[in-house]
Amino acid sequence: MSVLKRLAGTVVSAAVAAGTARAAYRLLRDNPPGGAELWNRKNHRGEELTLLLGPATVAGAAAATAVAPGLTARERVAGIVATVGAGALGAYDDLAGDTKAKGFRGHLTALSEGQVTSGLVKIAGIGLTGIAVAAILKRGNVIQTVADGALIAAAANVANLFDLRPGRTLKVVLAQTPFTAVVGPLLAAPVGSAAGVIDEDLGETGMLGDSGANALGAAVGTAVVANAPRGVRWAVLAGLVGLTAASEKISFTKVIAGNEVLDKLDQLGRRPTP
């Protein structure tokens, strides 16, 4: 693919994603499936917000992946499966989830006590989705496919770990913008979708929830698997596993608040945290 064609596909993908995400949010907000109460949750301030920002974000990224020029058939199918699959599993956990169990350890502890949590179902489902997406992309042997699937699932999980304050996950996704010039439309889809809804997330009129965060993370992970060399993919997987393990012991929010630069970036565009 020529540089100009890749650039054009990237721009189209980002624009479609942003526009679709914004339009979908307005439509869902005005006509919430199952009623508004089904989607309302309290945020970190104790204020009630809608989770419909998540499905809107999924719609934006999936629509862009479906129509953006310059993608192979494998990339297009893989991107849609990753985004919609992770988004649907995240929505299941959003709507049916029990918030008592936290992190992998919490879900495994609940399982040892005979309780299958919605979070564990989501984790297993996203893991299988990641492997299916990696198999579609077919970027190596069986071992590499499993590793690539783990990368996609880990990316979905880490994106969700950051979603504890308004705009935080979206800022992490938007930080990938410079790489869209190299990776192309597949990465531009989640980046564009994040750009389309960040005002609502920062303004605290809506929340991404697991649906939006997991979907964006899985979409970014899929773009990495589809385009990065093998060594880079293993390095990214190691980093994501490290962050996941660290999250069991360390609060990302405390780490960010304790670093002047990270805290300023985290606070940028949103109301001060009391």
246-259 pLDDT, tens digit per residue, is 998 899 999 999 99
Q: Residue 89: its pLDDT value, please?
A: 96
Query: Whole-prediction pTM value?
Result: 0.91
Query: How many residues are present in the chain?
Result: 274
Q: Are 192 and 15 in contact (CB under 8 A)?
A: yes
Mean pLDDT of 138-145: 95
Q: Is the pLDDT of residue 151 over 90?
A: yes
- What is the arithmetic mean of pLDDT over 130-138? 97
If you compute the radius of gyration of the chain from its CA atoms, what whole number of angstroms results? 18
Q: What does the pLDDT read at residue 80?
A: 98
| Beta carbons within 8 Å of 236's beta carbon, 6+ residues apart | 151, 155, 224, 228
Judged against a pLDDT cut of 70, whether residue 105 lies above it is answered with no
What's residue 96's pLDDT? 86
**What contacts 24+ positions apart, CB below 8 Å, involve 236-243?**
236/151, 236/155, 237/147, 237/150, 237/151, 237/154, 240/151, 240/154, 240/155, 240/157, 240/158, 241/150, 241/154, 243/158, 243/161
pLDDT band at 69 (very low <50, low <70, confident <90, very high): very high
Whole-number Å distance between alpha carbons of 120 and 22: 31
Confidence tier at 270 by pLDDT (50, 70, 90)? confident
Confidence (pLDDT) at 3? 74
What type of residue is 51? L
